[in-house]
Amino acid sequence: MRYISPTRGPMDFQTMFLDIMEYVQDAPAARHRLIIGTDSQLGADTCFVTAVVVHRIGKGGRYYYARTWEKTNRSLRQRIFYETSRSLEVASHIAAQLAENGFADLNVEIHCDIGTHGETKDLIREVVGMVVGSGFDARIKPDSYGASTVADKYTK
Query: What is the pLDDT, as a whole number, of residue 53?
Result: 98
pLDDT at site 73: 84
> What's the pLDDT at 81?
97
Distance (Å, rounded) from C-alpha 87 to C-alpha 141? 16
List pLDDT tens digits, range 2-38. 999 999 999 999 999 999 999 999 999 999 999 999 9
Residues in the chain predicted with pLDDT less than 50, given as ranges, are none
148 and 36 Cβ atoms separated by less than 8 Å: no
Rounded to a whole number of angstroms, the CA Rg of the chain reads 15
Q: Whole-model pTM?
A: 0.96
**What integer pLDDT is reported at residue 59 of this predicted model?**
95
3-state secondary structure of 37: strand
pLDDT of residue 107: 87
